[in-house]
Chains A and B, each alone.
Chain A
Amino acid sequence: MSAIWGKTAVVGAYEHPTRFAPEKTAYQLHAESARGALEDAGLTISDVDGLFTSGVGPIGIMSLANHLNLRPCYLDSQAIGGSSFVSHCLHAAAALAAGLCSVALVTYGSTAASERFAIGTGGGFLMDPPDAFEAPFGPTIVGSYALVAQRHMHDYGTTSEQLAEIAVTMRKHAGLNPHAKYREPITVEDVLASRVISSPLHLLDCCVISDGGGALVLASLERARDLRGPPVVILGGAEAVRHSEAGGRDLLDVAASQSGPLALARAGVRHADVDLCAVYDSYTITVLTTLEGLGFCRPGEGGAFAGGGRIALGGALPVNPDGGGLSSNHPGMRGIFLVIEATRQLHGECGPRQVKDAEIALVHGTGGMLGQRHSGVTLVLGRA
């Protein structure tokens, strides 16, 4: 019997409806999201004794505690890119199971769009040793993912049309989400006709830039049973990182290939048991390589696997029913929205975009730069 898996649950989830909030600060979005998630759980801010966040600056978690006037006994500001918030849930499960805290609050807020922050196409950073050998050559974030896409096309014959179909599917889903930033249907031809940002990735292969916020509340399953909503149980999880190694990195070896199988094994869940996936879709290639890495198909088969409606609502493996980062929202780090959507799907409260009879959801966050350094965090969630 595991000490962690199946012992803790998401008990509250809230996605801030805003996509553009020029009057608000990120901290206000954190606070408004926290209120929403605590209301959803039937808990109050004074119940919170574990605080998890990222994207607030190196020691910003103390500012967030200040802003919420919290005195938590457990703090975690894991910073591994957009997947950080998925990682927070994994760490919260361990902390809750170990009794290090009893109510964990995970929050996120960002005003990337109203600050006109060029997330994907800004300059390279120059902070850490590996950066000195990369940033001088101008890797954008899009470019880093594009290096992987180009290699995938070379090795496996993956096409721009196959990548485009992923964007088309996400947009179709977004049409069912009243809060999504872009809801008008698009076609494969639209994606291919959009301008190339970094070959082979077009504008519509890239996630949107929005403002936004979200929050999650986690507690032990024991405590969850006394709370308002049906708990969503954390059945298993794992994280991983990939980087340039000592100069020998295989670009097509993604972190999901380590975290995915480990998380599924820990959960005792098989691929065939998974009813839906919430997968980080910073770019279309991210979805394709993640599905391969997680083991839903073999390496090289991702293009064909993601086509033909298989990852659309009504297909064998619906991915991102909310429209994902490609169409709904992407304020810079959208990992928290993956867990929120998976939770709401398992509650069966998603209306027209509901995956029928969803019992098991797999969440996978990708953070960082796929072709340089990236993280992968997998969570397996289930109905209690």
Chain B
Amino acid sequence: MADAKSYRKPLPRIDEESRGYWEALARHELYFQRCRDCGTKRFYPRALCPACLSAGTEWVRASGRGSVYSFTVTYQNQAPGFREELPYVLAIVELAEGPRLMTNIVGCPPEQVRIGLPVEVVFDDVTPEVTLAKFRPA
């Protein structure tokens, strides 16, 4: 694990709306939210349900399983932290429970990634405070 100083990619700002999500990831658990009033699932985490503006929020633990909804193999990115890791796979994964999220596909050669590929979460502890949910072929 890098310390916060040597890690060069962007780190999320953890705030009141997102703290529960990031703290769960640090425990290697992936969560999304569901509205207690109207039942709408949501990702990314927000204080209020965007469907009905209710503050009643249930945190739902995701199975960590899903499939690749779309992806791109990135060959050029000048930004520090990424330019040393080219090529890398940027993807949107659809969780088995429904919500879609942006992530990286790791643990396989980029050319093996396909839309529909079954994947499972891997927890990448990038700094002592921040863990990212990435995915690998299941």
Contact = CB atoms under 8 A, between A and B. Distances in A.
A249 B100 contact: yes
A202 to B, nearest CB: 10
Nearest to B42: A246
Contact of B78 (A122, A130, A137, A371): A122
A132 interface: yes
A129 B44 contact: yes
Contacts of A195: 75
Interface string B28-56: 00001000000011111010001100000
Interface in A200-245: 200-201, 244-245
Given A122-B78, A122-B79, A137 B70 contact: no
A339 interface: no
Contacts of A136: 9-12, 126, 130, 132
Interface stretch (A147-155, A274-282, A342-350): A147-155
Interface string A133-150: 111111110110011111
A251 interface: yes
Interface string B82-115: 1000001011100000111111100000000001
B99 A123 contact: no
Contacts of A196: 73, 75
B104 A138 contact: yes
Contact of A137 (B40, B51, B104): B104
Nearest to B12: A132
Given A123-B77, A247-B41, A138 B46 contact: no
Nearest to B104: A137
B32 A247 contact: yes
Contacts of A187: none
A126 B13 contact: yes
B63 interface: no
A206 to B, nearest CB: 10
A100 B104 CA distance: 49
A121 interface: yes
B31 to A, nearest CB: 12
Centre residue among A150, A249, A372 by max chain B CB count within 10 A: A150
A316 interface: no
Contact of B90 (A132, A139, A245): A139
A135 B82 CA distance: 11
A124 interface: yes
B51 A151 contact: no
A73 interface: no
A246 B51 contact: yes
B74 A198 contact: yes
27 contacts: A121-B78, A122-B77, A122-B78, A122-B79, A126-B11, A135-B10, A136-B9, A137-B132, A138-B88, A139-B90, A146-B72, A147-B91, A150-B115, A151-B70, A197-B75, A198-B72, A198-B74, A199-B72, A245-B50, A246-B41, A246-B50, A247-B41, A247-B42, A247-B98, A248-B98, A248-B100, A372-B102
Interface of A: 118, 121-124, 126, 129-140, 142-143, 146-151, 154, 195-201, 244-249, 251, 371-372
Given A123-B77, A138-B9, A138-B74, 5 more contacts: A138-B88, A143-B72, A198-B75, A247-B44, A248-B98
